[in-house]
C-alpha cells in the first residue's frame, strides 16, 4: 500500500511523498523531518493566457520559464535528494516517488475560470497547476529504467494526483506525461515526468473527446470509439505488440509518427484514478515491457513522449472518453529523426515515413534488455 505524505516547500509550494516500502513511509511521515531549509522567496504571480480568435485556442505566456534549470551536473540536480552541498527541490535525504508543484509553472498557482466568451485581444490569468513527478532518487534514467515496484508507485501517484487535480476549481483537463531524451527537449536527466492541470480542454484532447462523444451517441451509448478500435486491432493482429489480461498495446492503423504505440485498457475507464489494483499491477509490467521493446530497436536509447490521454473533467464528455497512453517518438532510423516541417507544423497534416505494420512487427520481435533494480 502506498503511503502519501504531503508537506510544503519554503515558498509555499506543495510537495507530496509517495512511499510503498515500510521503511520509506516511516522516513516521510513526519513532515518536519523533511523541511525545506532554503528559505525561498514567495512565488511570483501566475503567467497569462491569451485567446487566439483565429483558432479558438488558448495560448499560455510564461516568460519566467526562460530561466529554468537546464541540464545541470549531478551535484546540482534539483530533483536529487537534498545533501548539505545541494539543497534541492526535495528536502529529504532519500525518497521513493515525489510530486511537487513546478517552480517554473506554465499554469497556476492561481485557480479559477477563464472568460466564457473570449474574443480577439482577450487576456486572462493562466489558471491551473503544473507538477513534477520525480520517479526515483537516482540521478539518471527514465520510467523504463525503474523496478516494477517503483513503477507501480508512480502509477499510484499519477492516479492520486489525477483525482485530486480534477477536483480543483476551474480545472478542465489533467494530463500526465513523460518527455524522454534531449531530442525531445528534456532539460533534466533525472527520471521524472510532469502533470499539467489545464483551465481549458487542450486542442488535441478536445478533438479526441468530441470524436469519441459523436461515435458514442451514434451507437446509442452502446459502444466507445476507442473500444471499437481496440477490438478491431486485436481481431486483425497486424499491428498488435502486446496483449495482456487487462491491457493491450498496438501501433495505430493511421499512426502519425515513425514510432507510435497506443497502450489501452480492455475495460473502459475515464482516467488513471479509475483503474483497479489488478489493472495497475498489469499496467506496470506491460508498460515497462513496451518501453524495453522501444529501446531494443536501436543501439542507443530512443527519445519519446509518453502522453496519458484521460477524459476531460466535463461530465458530458466523460462517458464516451477512454483512458489510453499514446507513446510517440520522432526516431525514424538509428541516426535519423523526423522533424515537423511544412506539412506537419504549418498544416497539421502528418506524413509517416514508415508503415504501422512493419513497426509493430519490429516491436513484437524486439527483446528488451534486462533492467537494473533501482528500488
Burial 42-72 (b: 16+ CB within 10 A, else e): eeeebbebbbeeeeeebebebeebeeeeeeb
Residue 317: all three cell numbers together? 464528455
DSSP annotation string for 271-319: SGGG--HHHHHHHHHHHHHHHHHHHHTSSSPPPEEEEEE---S-TTTGG
List C-alpha distances in Å: 341 to 89, 203, 318, 338, 351.
37, 20, 34, 9, 10
First to last CA, the chain: 15
CA gap 192, 333 in Å, rounded: 26
> Closest Cα to residue 102, out of 177, 208, 181, 159?
177
Residue 228 cell numbers, joined: 471499437
φ, ψ of residue 183 to 5 degrees: the values are -65, -20
Residue from 190, 192, 262, 324 carrying the catalytic annotation: 192
Quick one: DSSP state of residue 371? P
Helices (H) and strands (E) in the chain, counts: 7, 16
- Enter the C-alpha cell of residue 331: 526516431
Q: Is 192 a catalytic residue?
A: yes
Query: What is the Cα Rg of the chain in Å?
Result: 21
| Nearest alpha carbon to residue 64 among 11, 136, 22, 126 | 126
Helix (H, G, I), strand (E, B) or coil at 192: strand
| 366 Cβ neighbours under 8 A, 6+ residues apart | 292, 293, 294, 296, 297
Cis check: omega of the bond before 109, within 30 degrees of 0: yes
Give the full edge-to-edge strand order of the sheet including 48-52.
57-61, 48-52, 123-125
Which are the catalytic amino acids? 192
Amino acid at each position: 500500500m502506498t503511503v502519501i505524505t504531503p508537506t510544503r516547500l519554503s515558498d509555499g509550494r506543495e510537495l507530496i511523498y509517495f512511499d510503498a516500502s515500510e521503511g520509506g513511509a516511516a522516513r516521510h511521515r513526519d513532515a518536519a523531518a523533511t523541511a525545506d531549509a532554503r528559505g525561498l522567496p514567495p512565488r511570483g504571480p501566475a503567467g497569462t493566457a491569451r485567446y487566439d480568435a483565429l483558432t479558438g485556442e488558448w495560448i499560455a505566456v510564461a516568460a519566467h520559464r526562460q530561466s529554468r534549470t537546464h541540464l545541470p551536473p549531478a551535484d546540482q540536480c534539483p530533483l536529487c535528494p537534498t545533501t548539505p552541498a545541494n539543497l534541492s527541490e526535495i528536502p529529504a535525504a532519500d525518497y521513493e516517488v515525489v510530486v511537487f508543484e513546478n517552480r517554473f509553472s506554465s499554469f497556476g498557482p492561481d485557480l479559477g475560470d477563464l472568460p466564457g466568451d473570449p474574443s480577439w485581444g482577450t487576456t486572462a490569468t493562466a489558471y491551473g497547476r503544473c507538477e513534477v513527478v520525480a520517479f526515483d532518487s537516482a540521478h539518471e534514467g527514465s520510467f523504463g529504467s525503474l523496478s516494477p515496484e517503483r513503477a507501480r508507485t508512480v502509477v499510484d501517484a499519477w492516479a492520486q494526483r489525477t483525482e485530486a487535480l480534477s477536483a480543483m476549481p476551474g480545472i478542465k483537463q489533467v494530463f500526465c506525461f513523460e518527455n524522454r531524451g534531449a531530442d525531445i527537449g528534456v532539460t533534466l536527466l533525472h527520471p521524472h515526468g510532469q502533470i499539467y492541470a489545464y483551465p481549458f480542454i487542450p486542442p488535441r484532447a478536445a478533438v479526441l473527446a468530441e470524436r469519441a462523444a459523436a461515435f458514442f451517441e451514434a451507437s446509442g451509448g452502446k459502444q466507445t470509439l476507442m473500444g471499437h478500435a481496440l477490438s478491431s486491432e486485436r481481431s486483425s493482429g497486424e499491428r498488435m505488440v502486446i496483449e495482456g489480461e487487462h491491457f493491450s498495446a498496438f501501433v495505430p492503423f493511421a499512426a502519425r509518427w515513425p514510432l507510435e504505440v497506443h497502450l489501452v485498457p480492455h475495460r473502459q475507464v475515464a482516467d488513471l484514478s479509475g483503474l483497479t489494483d489488478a489493472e495497475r499491477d498489469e499496467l506496470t509490467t506491460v508498460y515497462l515491457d513496451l518501453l524495453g521493446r522501444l529501446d531494443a530497436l536501436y543501439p542507443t536509447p530512443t527519445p519519446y513522449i509518453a502522453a496519458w490521454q484521460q477524459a476531460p473533467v466535463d461530465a458530458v464528455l466523460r462517458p464516451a472518453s477512454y483512458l489510453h497512453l499514446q507513446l510517440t517518438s520522432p526516431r525514424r532510423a538509428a541516426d535519423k529523426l523526423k522533424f515537423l516541417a511544412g506539412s506537419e507544423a504549418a498544416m497539421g497534416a502528418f506524413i509517416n515515413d514508415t508503415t504501422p505494420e512493419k513497426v509493430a512487427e519490429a516491436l513484437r520481435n524486439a527483446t528488451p534488455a534486462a533492467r537494473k533494480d533501482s528500488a
